Chains A and B, each alone.
Chain A
């Protein structure tokens, strides 16, 4: 079943056939990030048992700054999105082990872990004008001093809502709701004309 299921996985952007359009250099490179496991973690940050469970399972505690994205075990990322809300993003190769470990640490205690792996499509925006392109459609302050690498924020960009994660000064990952992904991509490409946007290989 596992193999069949893996083959059956299909990105929301599959219909655009980005592979055939990749190439060229521009002020911005647009691409699709690799599929990932993604979980919503909820819980009381001031409950030591909860904090300990998270720390034990992930190697990073939940007491992060708002919007902080912290690298944790298995190349996963824990992003604080609200007072009692985090996003855990893990590579697909992890096969759910990290989340399973977290779920078992949390079991019997407080908090909740919800699989939302299919809920968003990851779009990468990189290059000299990456921040400028995003600034055509979002009101958050993208100045590196205000929104440095390692930060994330949920915001509206163009025609969709996205979780924006700045990986480097000129590299962003946008987690866009799956049903919006295609028309958001079209919006990005259209606005990207200003910066000669190209599709990343």
Chain B
């Protein structure tokens, strides 16, 4: 037997017959040609059953030609390279391709699940709402495992996608979606006018419908004209041609997503997919149209297919979808398809035209007849034709055939138009849903706009190209539009079905006409509800072939016009886009931003355990040999409090403020006064939101008369910058203030502990560190470890402490030099956990306390606020809600049982008996304090300060934990601040 029994001896403009390719389908070796799609390869090899249907596991074959294919979804590749749910019509054949059918066991040809088809009666529309309900315990034991095995499409690949997927952003004056005659004409006109054009088409070759059937443009072959136009476009530097690229999404502001697939013979290293994000000034939608099915019993049998596809396989690939064909339809295209098939070698058994008075002397024409039933189970073996006028006595004509090519008319691909929120209209007479008012800077042309004659498509495409170019500012003369002698309207009367039986509407989801009618009988009215109830149009083909039929059936069942039924919402993507393509460049090592401080290499070498702080990573603690995490953190605290520690605070936000109104500005953005600062001195500052809640805190240092340097918390740095820029640009534009983000420029480390003065004295010999020369909250520029530095005396840990800032390029040098110098001083590096313990022992607040709900007074910082201030947020503090009694206030909780530890998520309760009762408040921060030898917490507690000395309970009702604690001042340690002096 010949390897490609259904391949013609010659012809097929997409294939290269010089070298056959081998490929496997479901374990069987086949042969095809370079240029084939998997679908054409399977048809050439005579494989008729290429899929099993979703619900009934009925055998299915190729129905369509391109993106509209509802039936044949396969898994291509094996193992890591397996790609499930690809349409066979869109997979380019390549040497050694291994593909397999889905939703079938052991294979699509012999599927045990096929028995379900016999039991179809128990799986009507919405069966999952009705059946498998009883007995309840059977659900987990039987129904669900069974259904999981039977349902669904291809399995998700077990391993991560190892292929490379690319992305590209591009700007264009005109994006043309679709490279058929209308699209190519539009692109050519726009490009000649001078516009920057992107032309994208889903096929390997431009031509659209001309790929499937010959046509005439000018005085010659249509495809030759397309090739010449393509060559001209190729030569223009401002034009980009994308083949195998589907425009899948139309988003706001004319951003369109184009998914490009690699060619079958692409060299290794070529990205498997490339997503193009096209920002286009104007869009021409020339997406063509999809052929509609006809509904009759057995219309899903392998061998029943779209007539234009059947013609297309012969014309483009030299492949016969059958040897003896019945062609049935409601429009003139059946005759051209019949002649095309006949010339390719198919014997034409009958051409059934639903219209009564049509004739074609050269063909076995059956006017006024349609297919009522297709015979055969594993493939079609015959068709029963019957009169469409229902005249009595018609016994029908049974015709043997192995191909039923159906032509139900065309549905314009209005998807992109509708995705852009354009409105649709229903043309009752022509039975077409057409684009109406566009929802963006776009225009539809050609078949997508309901023009089905070649001449009209060319003219409309050309005009759209000229207009789109003009709208984007390009008006050079483009010349004359191409013409075609084909001016047939191509319209079809609305005709859908004949007879009863299992008439499939949605082939992919196994939805029959009866299912739609049932939904209507059960009271479903909205087309959106019917879609969800029956699953019609919910498959990966998104109802490209089935949508219109479903709509008409529903309207008929409800007895109302189609226009009133309306359509379901068209949402992106138009065709499926692989998740791996969308994730490209966003996942995997190094793809998400990881911010490192200048000393990061040292932390890593030292084996620090990091914690994430936004995008930053910060050392949480430095593990020590022979001890656990808790011990290491406690040691860092103890050794810092007893000697000297160093911590990387390079992540803090830093802002340089200059300009003659700098001091006045800071008085307005901070709740406490900054203008009274002397040069060289600093102050803790509190920033409020407009509603009076604490926004951020930090330290403000005055470096000169109109020059300040301030710090923000790591978390709020961007928010603070934005806040200040907003105020300067819109609220007080009259102030001359320049706020510059210098966070990235400065690295900073803090030395803390009684030994810090001695160590810094050694590292900065020129700096007088006496309390007189360098008091608390003072700043000096100095050389530290021979590096140009700013030294601040301030303390977060409660110890004598200095923060040293150097330009970040010197950051690692500062860090390592201080550690070297600190060796004799017992200098210990500590991480954020030890820092957190020390700040908690001192009662300093963080965003756990300043959580967006607390006022300065709630946090015990009320005295910092100047009552007369015009500062942001201060006026709101007078609101009754913020002054009422009973607000939660910050307190310290000292756990009475020294052995107790506090788990996360604790409430503060009056009693510890776990009875449901409103809590007094909640724990905001907690730690075990190695300094005080017990667990401590900060908490926001109702009337907290008045409860000082009382016993409350720290409780976690969900874990059953409770322990007694005394309410104390939040400053647990060194309340007098003696240690700050060292």
Contacts and interface: CB of A to CB of B under 8 A. Distances in A.
B376 interface: no
Given A179-B616, A190-B590, A10 B809 contact: yes
A5 B788 contact: yes
A14 B811 CA distance: 13
Interface in A54-99: 84
Interface in B612-666: 615-616, 656, 658-660
Contacts of B812: 8, 10
A12 B166 CA distance: 27
Nearest to B783: A1
B595 A40 contact: no
A190 B585 contact: yes
B649 to A, nearest CB: 13
B594 interface: yes
B736 A110 contact: yes
Contacts of B616: 179
Interface in B715-755: 736, 738, 740, 742-747
B588 interface: yes
B269 to A, nearest CB: 8
A5 B787 contact: yes
B591 A132 contact: no
A184 B591 CA distance: 8
B167 A114 contact: no
A120 B744 contact: yes
Contacts of A180: 593, 595, 615
B97 interface: no
Interface residue tally of chain A, by bracket?
35 or more
A117 B745 contact: yes
Nearest to B592: A159
A178 interface: yes
A69 B659 CA distance: 25
A10 B597 CA distance: 12
A136 B601 CA distance: 29
Given A116-B745, A178-B598, A158 B585 contact: yes
Contacts of B744: 116, 118-120, 177-179
B interface secondary structure, majority:
mixed
Contact of B595 (A115, A141, A179): A179
Nearest to B662: A112
B429 interface: no
A7 to B, nearest CB: 8
A73 B588 CA distance: 44
B602 to A, nearest CB: 10
Contacts of A135: 168-170
A82 to B, nearest CB: 10
A133 to B, nearest CB: 10
Contacts of A159: 591-593
Interface in B780-801: 783, 786-788
Contacts of A191: 166-167, 585
A101 to B, nearest CB: 18
Nearest to A14: B601
A132 B170 CA distance: 9
Contacts of B814: 8
Contact of A190 (B588, B597, B742): B588
A21 to B, nearest CB: 15
B777 interface: no
Interface in A161-200: 177-180, 182-184, 186-187, 190-191, 193-194, 196
**Most B C-beta atoms less than 10 A away, residue of A111, A159, A179:** A179
A182 to B, nearest CB: 6
Contacts of A11: 809
Contacts of B597: 179
Contact of A9 (B593, B745, B746, B809): B809
B277 interface: yes
A143 interface: yes
B677 interface: no
Contact of A118 (B170, B588, B593, B746): B746
Contact of A42 (B167, B277, B658): B658
A81 to B, nearest CB: 12
A183 B590 contact: yes
A15 interface: yes
A118 B809 contact: yes
A196 B592 CA distance: 22
Contacts of A132: 168
A118 B788 contact: no
Interface in A1-28: 1, 4-5, 7-12, 14-15
Interface in A128-146: 132, 135-139, 141, 143, 146
B290 interface: no
A35 interface: yes
A172 B601 CA distance: 28
Contacts of B426: none
Contact of B742 (A43, A119, A186): A119
Contacts of B736: 44, 110
A51 interface: no
Given A10-B809, A112-B659, A187-B591, A136 B786 contact: no
Given A40-B740, A42-B738, A8 B813 contact: yes
B127 interface: no
B324 interface: no
Given A118-B807, A178-B598, A112 B658 contact: yes
A178 B747 CA distance: 11
B343 interface: no
B105 interface: no
B787 A112 contact: no
A77 to B, nearest CB: 18
B167 A136 contact: yes
B66 interface: no
Nearest to A9: B809
A119 B279 CA distance: 32
Contacts of A45: none
B975 to A, nearest CB: 37
Interface string B253-282: 000000000000000010100000101000
Contacts of B783: 1
B196 A112 contact: no
Nearest to A147: B171
B596 interface: yes
Contacts of B269: 193, 196
Contact of B740 (A5, A112, A117, A120): A112
Interface string B547-588: 000000000000000000000000000000000000001001
A194 B166 contact: yes
A14 B747 CA distance: 16
A151 B950 CA distance: 67
A117 B410 CA distance: 64
B656 A114 contact: yes
A183 B594 CA distance: 6
Contacts of A15: 600-601
B810 A8 contact: yes
B589 interface: yes
Given A114-B656, A191-B585, A183 B593 contact: yes
A130 B569 CA distance: 40
5 contacts: A135-B169, A178-B598, A180-B595, A183-B594, A196-B269
6 residue pairs, one from A and one from B, having the closest CB atoms: A186-B590, A8-B813, A112-B658, A118-B807, A119-B744, A179-B595
Interface of A: 1, 4-5, 7-12, 14-15, 35, 40, 42-44, 84, 110-112, 114-120, 132, 135-139, 141, 143, 146, 158-160, 177-180, 182-184, 186-187, 190-191, 193-194, 196
Given A5-B810, A15-B601, A139-B169, 18 more contacts: A5-B788, A8-B786, A12-B598, A40-B740, A112-B738, A114-B658, A114-B738, A114-B742, A118-B810, A136-B166, A139-B277, A159-B592, A160-B593, A178-B598, A179-B596, A179-B744, A194-B164, A196-B269
Interface of B: 164, 166-171, 196, 269, 271, 277, 279, 585, 588-598, 600-601, 615-616, 656, 658-660, 736, 738, 740, 742-747, 783, 786-788, 807-814, 817
